[in-house]
Amino acid sequence: MTSPRSGANLGLAAAAAALATLAGCAALLDGRIDAREARAEAEWPPVGEIVVLGDGRRVHAKVAGSGPDLVLIHGANGNLRDFSFDLIDRLTEDYRVIALDRPGFGHSDPIGPADESPVAQAETLAAAARKLGAERPIVLGHSYGGAVALGWGLAAETPPAALVIVSGASNPWPGGLGWRYRLTTGPLAQHVLNPLAAAFLSHTPPDSFVESIFEPQAVPEGYMAHIGAGLTLRRATLRANSRQIQALSDQLAAMVPEYGRLDMPAEILHGTADEIVPARIHAEQLVRQLPDARYTPLEDVGHMPHHAAPENVVAAIDRAAERAGLR
Give yes or no for residue 178 having a pLDDT over 60.
no
Going along the chain, which residue ranges are E strands?
A: 49-52, 58-64, 69-73, 96-100, 138-142, 162-166, 266-271, 293-298
Tens of pLDDT, residue by residue over 125-159, are 999 999 999 999 999 999 999 999 999 999 988 89
Q: How many Å apart are CA 48 and CA 209, to the nearest integer?
A: 28
229 or 307: which leads in pLDDT: 307
Which residues have C-beta within 8 Å of that of residue 228, sequence separation ≥ 6?
A: 40, 43, 44, 79, 81, 106
Q: How many Å apart are CA 90 and CA 127, to the nearest integer?
A: 26
Mean pLDDT, the chain, rounded, equals 87
The pLDDT score that the predictor gives to residue 22 is 45
Residue 251 · residue 169 · CB < 8 Å: no
Give yes or no for residue 113 having a pLDDT over 50.
yes
The pLDDT score that the predictor gives to residue 164 is 98
Question: In the structure, what pLDDT confidence band is assigned to residue 81 with cuts at 50, 70 and 90?
Answer: very high
Tens of pLDDT, residue by residue over 28-53, are 666 777 787 888 888 999 999 999 99
Residue 126 · residue 137 · CB < 8 Å: no
Q: Where are the domains of the chain?
A: 49-176+250-323
230 or 97: which leads in pLDDT: 97
The pLDDT score that the predictor gives to residue 133 is 97
**Average pLDDT score over residue span 167-196:** 65
The pLDDT score that the predictor gives to residue 80 is 98
Q: How many Å apart are CA 250 and CA 161, to the nearest integer?
A: 27
Residue 140 · residue 223 · CB < 8 Å: no
Strand partners, 271: 298
Give yes or no for residue 207 having a pLDDT over 60.
no
Of the candidates 49, 61, 47, 48, which has an alpha carbon nearest to the alpha carbon of residue 126?
A: 61
Per CATH, which fold does 49-176+250-323 belong to?
Rossmann fold (3.40.50)
DSSP string over 276-306: SS-TTTTHHHHHHHSTTEEEEEETT--S-HH
Give yes or no for residue 194 having a pLDDT over 80.
no
212 or 324: which leads in pLDDT: 324
